[in-house]
């Protein structure tokens, strides 16, 4: 039976290998061990709960298709998840729901944090294999300096605090320094400017910038390959750690747990932490309270939409750096019509220069007007999970906070499922993040909601019309 099990799994792997990138295949399929085949139930062993959740979220469709092809339409996939030194499994088809006591154990399982290492080398997740601490690449863009960061009323507090941190990292009251604001307002630029200034003033200090998605990916890989302690050792040795977009940790319990211990270690050792987020700590959802309370230890500084004078200064700074000349009236016209954020402001300037160069036209107010009209018309508003919940609730005449309750009323459950469906199709958020922001659910609930909505769209014409109406409102 075992040999038959291995043969069937190898057949599945041959199909999967042709349909997924080679790196993904090596990372997520090669470590799987087929254990047994009993009737129509295939049991596979995966290295960790993270591994299982990732397969369920990203590869369940191809797993389902290949296993059914080999075993039959009534095939069942059973996971055996390695937890500490013991394995356990549940035989629900194509999913695995942990028993309550095991789920609690997973959530509260302590992470071992060694305070020192006997080796002069550490595993560096940015350069494999391990390299010495002093050779860590800070991952900073050399263009993102304080010199290139235009100061205005919208960012004066954040910039001043950032400069103070750069002059005395870990020694000011601004630890951690949390920079928050909407997309495109310069959070990443300012955070990296602090890192660059620290490296110039204190070359011996180890500075590292990493966005939260990369941090999460590295952590999952360290768990998969049993190198978690090496991962933690590496981050414990950083003098100035910059984490971008910490809101992306929402719903990722084990990642938050690891970051919590890294945060505590660095803070206690007098190291500097710099964080960025799209919201202030009080509005962040899906993050553990113990993390949020630590975010409030230092200073939370917001970056606001730049006013007219600041927008002009930003454009003139960009023009001066590029060594070009643009009429004053054109600069003022762009600044008056692009008001949302710095990224779009600079993008409009680049578009204007491209139009002028490619079409061999002089930069005039008329050309700027034509370009701005097209740019504004073609710019789609970014859709957020909060906005999706608001539109869905308005459509069904429900108060927006009702989706966060535990009620099982049919109309509310259906509205919640539709909100999850659109959050998955219209945003780049992970299933865990979507679940945490819509009712505090897990990723399996979001998967079930999306499948339910898809099935109803195919079988219920009235429901299909409702979903289409909501989609139109979301894309207005």
In three state form, how does the secondary structure of the chain look? CHHHHHHHHHHHHHHHHCCCCHHHHHHHCCCCEEEEEECCEEEEEECCHHHHHHHHHHCHHHHHHHHHHHHCCCCEEEEEEEECCEEEEECCCCCCCCCHHHHHHHHHCCCCCCCCCCCCCEEECCEEEEECHHHCCCCCCCCCCCCCCCCCCCCHHHHHHHHHHHHCCCCCCCCCEEEECCCCCCHHHHHHHHHHHHHHHCCCCCEEEEEHHHHHHHHHHHHHCCCHHHHHHHHHCCCEEEEECHHHHCCCHHHHHHHHHHHHHHHHCCCEEEEEECCCHHHCCCCCHHHHHHHCCCEEEECCCCCHHHHHHHHHHHHHHHCCCCCHHHHHHHHHHCCCCHHHHHHHHHHHHHHHHHCCCCCCHHHHHHHHHHHHHHCCCCCCHHHHHHHHHHHHCCCHHHHHCCCCCHHHHHHHHHHHHHHHHHCCCCHHHHHHHCCCCCHHHHHHHHHHHHHHHHHCHHHHHHHHHHHHHHCC
The answer to which of 153-162, 324-333, 462-471 has the lowest mean pLDDT is 324-333
pLDDT for the residue 476: 63
- The pLDDT-based confidence of 126 (bands split at 50, 70, 90) is low
pLDDT for the residue 119: 40
% of the chain residues with pLDDT over 90:
18
pLDDT for the residue 21: 80
CATH number belonging to domain 131-302: 3.40.50.300
Distance CA 393, CA 413 (A): 12
Residue 303 has pLDDT above 80, yes or no: yes
Per-chain mean pLDDT for the chain: 80
pLDDT digits (tens, 9 = 90+) for 422-455: 998 888 788 888 888 888 888 889 999 999 999 8
Q: Report the topology of domain 308-378.
A: Helicase, Ruva Protein; domain 3 (1.10.8)
- The pLDDT-based confidence of 58 (bands split at 50, 70, 90) is confident
Q: Report the topology of domain 385-474.
A: Chromosomal Replication Initiator Protein Dnaa; Chain: A; (1.10.1750)
pLDDT for the residue 209: 94
- The pLDDT-based confidence of 382 (bands split at 50, 70, 90) is low
% of the chain residues with pLDDT over 70:
85
The tokens describing 176, both together, are: 């951690």
- The pLDDT-based confidence of 116 (bands split at 50, 70, 90) is very low
Q: Within 10 Å of residue 42's Cβ, how many Cβ atoms?
A: 22
pLDDT digits (tens, 9 = 90+) for 335-348: 877 777 777 777 77
162 or 224, which is more confident?
162
Q: State which CATH number among 3.30.70.580, 3.30.70.20, 3.30.565.10, 3.30.300.180 fits the domain covering 2-98.
A: 3.30.300.180
Residue 132 has pLDDT above 50, yes or no: no
Q: Within 10 Å of residue 410's Cβ, how many Cβ atoms?
A: 8
- The pLDDT-based confidence of 231 (bands split at 50, 70, 90) is confident
Q: How far is CA 229 from CA 259, 380, 386, in A?
A: 13, 43, 36
pLDDT for the residue 109: 34
Q: How far is CA 227 from CA 3, 123, 330, 333, 424, in A?
A: 31, 9, 56, 55, 31
**Domain boundaries along the sequence of the chain:** 2-98, 131-302, 308-378, 385-474
- The pLDDT-based confidence of 23 (bands split at 50, 70, 90) is confident
Residue 90 has pLDDT above 50, yes or no: no
User: Which is nearest to 61 in space by CA: 98, 15, 22?
Assistant: 15
């Amino acid at each position: 039976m075992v040999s038959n099990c291995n043969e069937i799994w190898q057949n599945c792997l041959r199909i999967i290998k042709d349909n997924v990138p080679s790196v993904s295949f090596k990372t997520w399929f090669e470590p799987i061990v087929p254990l047994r085949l009993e009737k129509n139930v295939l049991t596979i062993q995966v290295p960790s709960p993270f591994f299982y959740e990732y397969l369920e979220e990203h590869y369940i469709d191809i797993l389902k298709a290949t296993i059914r092809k080999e075993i039959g339409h009534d095939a069942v996939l059973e996971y055996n998840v390695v937890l500490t030194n013991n394995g356990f499994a549940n035989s629900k088809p194509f999913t695995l729901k942990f028993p309550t006591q095991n789920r609690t154990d997973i959530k509260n399982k302590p992470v071992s944090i060694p305070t020192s290492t006997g080796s002069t080398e550490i595993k560096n997740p940015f350069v494999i294999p391990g390299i010495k601490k002093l050779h860590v690449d800070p991952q900073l863009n050399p263009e993102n300096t304080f010199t290139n960061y235009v100061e205005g009323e919208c960012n004066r507090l954040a910039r001043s605090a950032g400069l103070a941190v750069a002059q005395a990292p870990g020694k000011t009251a601004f630890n951690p320094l949390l920079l928050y604001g909407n997309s495109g307002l310069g959070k990443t630029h300012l955070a990296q400017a602090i890192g660059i200034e620290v490296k110039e003033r204190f070359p011996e200090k180890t500075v590292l910038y990493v966005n939260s998605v990369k941090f999460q990916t590295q952590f999952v890989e360290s768990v998969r390959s049993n190198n978690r302690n090496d991962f933690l050792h590496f981050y414990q040795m950083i003098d100035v750690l910059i984490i971008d977009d910490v809101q992306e940790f929402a719903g990722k319990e084990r990642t938050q747990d690891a970051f919590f211990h890294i945060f505590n270690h660095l803070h206690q050792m007098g190291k500097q932490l710099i964080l960025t987020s799209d919201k202030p700590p009080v509005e962040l959802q899906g993050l553990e309270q113990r993390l949020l309370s630590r975010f409030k230890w230092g200073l939370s500084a917001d970056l606001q939409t730049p006013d007219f004078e600041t927008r002009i200064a930003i454009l003139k700074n960009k023009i001066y750096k590029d060594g070009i000349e643009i009429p004053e009236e054109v600069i003022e016209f762009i600044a008056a019509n692009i008001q949302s954020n710095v990224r779009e402001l600079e993008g409009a300037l680049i578009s204007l220069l491209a139009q002028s160069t490619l079409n061999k036209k002089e930069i005039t107010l008329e050309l700027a007007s034509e370009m701005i009209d097209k740019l504004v018309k073609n710019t789609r508003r970014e859709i957020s999970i909060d906005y999706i919940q608001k539109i869905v609730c308005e459509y069904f005449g429900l108060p927006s906070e009702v989706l966060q309750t535990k009620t099982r009323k049919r109309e509310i459950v259906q509205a919640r499922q539709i909100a999850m469906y659109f959050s998955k199709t219209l945003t780049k958020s992970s299933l865990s993040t979507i679940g945490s922001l819509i009712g505090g659910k897990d990723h399996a609930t979001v998967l079930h909601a999306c499948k339910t909505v898809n099935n109803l769209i195919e079988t219920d014409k009235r429901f299909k019309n409702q979903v289409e109406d909501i989609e139109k409102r979301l894309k207005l």
